[in-house]
Structure 1
Amino acid sequence: MSYLTLLLTYAALPRTQADTTIFDVSGYPHYENVCSNVLAFYFDPQREHGLGSLLLDGLLNALDYPQTEPVQLQNIWREYSTLRGGRLDLLIKTDRYLIAIENKIFHGLNNDLNDYRETVQHLADPDVQPIYLVLSPRPLTLPPDSGFKNLTYGQLWQEVKRLLGFYASATTQKWLSYLYDLMTVTTATGNEAMEFTEREQFFIEHHPMLVQLQQEYTAFQRKLASQLTQLQQQMDDGIKHLTQLDKRWIYASNCLVHDFVLTGHKIAFDLYIKPDGWTLQLFGRNQTSQQFLGNRIAQRLQTPIVDNNRFVIGTWPLQTPLDPIRDTLSEWMNWLDAQ
């Protein structure tokens, strides 16, 4: 298969994009503490989510504790200190139950469940029933003498979704969306067998050729970068007289940067070389500098081209010799230095 055929085959694949959750955006998609914090928020009927006792009722139903009347939450603790100095992820006190929840997203279960159980027994009033629970994405085998029951997130969410219609009208789309995000990240933790999209199957099937293509493209990028370095070296002597040139460097291997400071205004030249050609841009590094630059350029160009708040001074095809690019860059830097 040729590279062209490979690319055409790839282009013909259907586009797929996984939904991004608020946890992905925050950078903490599967952290146990983050999930426990969000659970504590939704377990509290008085919080701003407006879903009342939805999660608490769903949890009790999933544990085979159906309620003839709503339970009354009295308190909820995060990282509760146990008798032996441990930390229990969630402790929920209601008028009828004292619920200990150990939340396990990724890590193996190596907690002292006996310590947790003894702590709850020590706290529980005679008329309150203790409940010991390990909440996890996948089923776990627990020590038979621990007193703890394992509940998967899938089992919890099944009950929550079944009850959701009774509570959803009192909340807003924002809190529903966040709850659905929590459901997503706690049931897709990477512990399951990997499944691949058609596009990912393409990567697997054509991996050797893709690696070769990537290597050759990297070599091509190095070739472009060498052109930028060569142009920089050609300009070494020609910039010594520029009194307001502050510094210059090559950024990300494909952009030659010249920074000027004129009466406190910071002006930059960015000369890019990319597979689609050369581009020379001029811009101010802050609002006042950009305004200063705009006033100066208006004296020279009647209708300047502006792209993403940058003035486009020139573009050239990739095959262009260095001389005209260097001359344009030098001419504009000399003009700016004289301002």
Structure 2
Amino acid sequence: MNQPKASEVALQVLQTFLNTNEIPTVKGKPKTFLSIAKQPHYENVWSNIYAFYFNVRESHKLNNLFIKSLISLIRESSLPDSKTIFETFLNFDVVTELGAKEQKRMDIALFNNDQAILIENKVYHMLNNDLDIYYNELDKIEKVGIVLSLEPISKDKIEHPRFINITHLQLMQRVMQYLGTYLLKANDKYVVFLKDFYQNIINLSQPYMEQENINFYYQHQQKINQLVHYKFKLREHILSEVVKVGNELENLEKYEPRLNSFNDKRLVYYVCPHERNLMITVVYEKLLTNERVMHIAVEMQGDLLQNRNIYKEKIQFADEEKAIFANHFETTQEGWAHFAIKHYSPTPQQIGKLAEYIHKIIIDDHLLAIYNKLAAFF
């Protein structure tokens, strides 16, 4: 009786793993405007945003939403007078980078004639500030300091009896809790900005992966890595098959994009030997996705696009060739343009013999004929 091969046993083990385990979905974090601008964690940027929304006279028209939210958290704190402090907090100024002694600067100060809230804004930096200097800078009857941080800070790490810790997420969650009653009069544009800022804080306050997903990986690490290995091997197979076609076609030279460039692992060019700006391009990257699609295009670049209107006028193309002309060849403003293009969804069996499949469709679907007519014209 023939024993199964080691590769067959490995495949059976992986198949059993996939059949008996639901692979958890790792939820990515939504992009925010600050992350797009590469400034998701800059403290001075956050301070300026907070200052804008704390200012009740600003154009956001959210009135006292932020100060109300902050004071509600202060009144829930462990300060001895927390239940009675700041029964009103009106006509206050909002200042960022307020100068203090010893060339120190207070991140955000909210104050009127008798009251002050002093905010030390922390994102990733450690708390190593002399809080006494900040607290003593403004002489007010009612005064509280706040260390606003990403992670909670224990009371023993805040060496000042009148400073408390509130996290950015706590403050923004309270803002969102109260937001509904302010929406009618609010400026919609700044509500959108506010929600985006809130998402940015959520992104930085919570880990990228949930603990259960991390646990799942380490419980099944070997099998998961085997599956990843299979994916890499499939990509290598696809690439080698695509390259093989380029080596076989006459009047074309295979060209692979530079290693680690944008197009590496995405596509391969088959380039015209006497006109390097004419090529057939095979884009295969989505064969490894759930879509399992690819496209093949006759493409032009550079100088060949300067008088692009003449090709369809001066070269005699058959009707079946015209049927696959790209719609936007004459109008695209890119430095490259598809002259003709076809999309494909090969079966796993066709991917198994991808070189043979590509070679056949390039001929049968008239892509090679179109390329040859253009090459002869040049």
TM-score exceeds 0.5: yes
Counterparts in 2 of 1:210 and 1:13: CA distance versus 1, 3 Å: closer
CA distance in 1: counterparts of 2:44 and 2:109, whole angstroms: 14
CA gap of 1:254–1:179, structure 2 versus 1, over 3 A, is closer
Stretches of structure 2 lacking an aligned partner (at least 5 in a row):
1-11, 76-84, 258-262, 330-337
Shift of 1:128: 6.2
Aligned ranges for residues 174-213 of structure 1 at < 5 Å?
A: 174-186=189-201, 189-190=204-205, 195-196=210-211, 202-213=216-227
- TM-superposed CA distance for 1:4, in Å, is 3.6
SS of structure 1 residue aligned to 2:57: coil
Cα distance between partner residues in 1 of 2:57 and 2:316: 59
- Aligned-pair identity in percent equals 21
Q: Distance in 2 between matches of 1:303 and 1:272?
A: 20
2:5 matched residue in structure 1: none
Closer/same/farther in 2, CA of residues 335 and 128 from structure 1, 3 Å limit = farther
Q: Does 1:270 align with 2:281?
A: yes
Quick one: which amino acid aligns to residue 251 of structure 2?
G
1:238 partner SS: coil
For 1:72, the aligned partner's letter is N
Distance 1:131 1:335, change over 3 A: same
Structure with the bigger percentage of strand = 1
Aligned pair partner of 2:268 in 256, 269, 283: 256
Distance change in 2, residues 1:326/1:170 (3 Å):
closer
Q: Deviations over 1:154-203 (max 9, x none)?
A: 55346535543442321145433443444454356456797446x66654
Per-residue Cα deviation, 1:38-89 (whole angstroms, up to 9, x for no partner)? 2122111222321012102222332233434x51133422x33433233432
| CA displacement at 1:97 relative to structure 2 | 2.7
CA contact (8 A) 2:147 2:165 kept: yes
What secondary structure sits across from 1:111 in the alignment?
coil
**Which string of whole-angstrom CA distances, capped at 9 and with x for unpartnered residues, describes residues 263-304 of structure 1?**
9xx765311344657642134669x94993796299443422
* Cross-structure match for 1:43: 54
Q: Which residue of 2 aligns with 1:243?
A: none
Task: Give the match for residue 226 of structure 1.
Answer: 240
Aligned partner of 2:95: which letter? Answer: I
Residue 71 of structure 1 is matched in structure 2 by 90
Task: Identify the match of residue 251 of structure 2 among 233, 238, 241.
Answer: 238
Q: TM-score, normalised by structure 1?
A: 0.72
SS of 2:237's partner is helix
The one-letter code of the counterpart of 1:20 is: P
Matches for 1:1-339 after TM superposition, within 5 Å:
2-8=13-19, 17=27, 20=30, 22=32, 23-64=34-75, 65-68=85-88, 71-77=90-96, 79-118=97-136, 120-121=137-138, 124=139, 129-137=142-150, 138-141=152-155, 142-145=157-160, 147-153=162-168, 155-157=170-172, 159-161=174-176, 163-186=178-201, 189-190=204-205, 195-196=210-211, 202-234=216-248, 238-239=251-252, 248-250=255-257, 251-257=263-269, 269-273=280-284, 274=287, 276=292, 279-283=295-299, 289=305, 292=308, 296=312, 299-300=317-318, 301-304=321-324, 310=338, 311-313=340-342, 317-318=350-351, 319=353, 320-321=355-356, 324=360, 331-337=369-375, 338=377
What is the CA RMSD across the aligned residues, in angstroms? 4.4
TM-score where L is the length of structure 2? 0.65
Q: Name stretches of at least 5 consecutive residues in structure 1 with no aligned partner.
A: 241-246
Amino acid in the other structure paired with 1:41? F
Deviation of 1:212 after TM superposition, in Å, equals 0.6
Distance 2:294 2:209 in 1: 42
